[in-house]
Amino acid sequence: MGDIYAMRRANGDWFAQEVNGRFHLPLFHTVHDAFMSRLRNFGMLLFKPVTFNARMLEQFDSKAGSDNIDFCMIDDPFVSLKRGQLLARAQIASLISGDKDQGV
Share of the chain above pLDDT 90, in %: 52
42-60 average pLDDT score: 91
- Whether the per-residue pLDDT at 44 is higher than 50: the answer is yes
Instruction: Mention every residue, 6+ apart, whose C-beta is less than 8 A from residue 64.
Output: none
This prediction has a pTM of 0.86
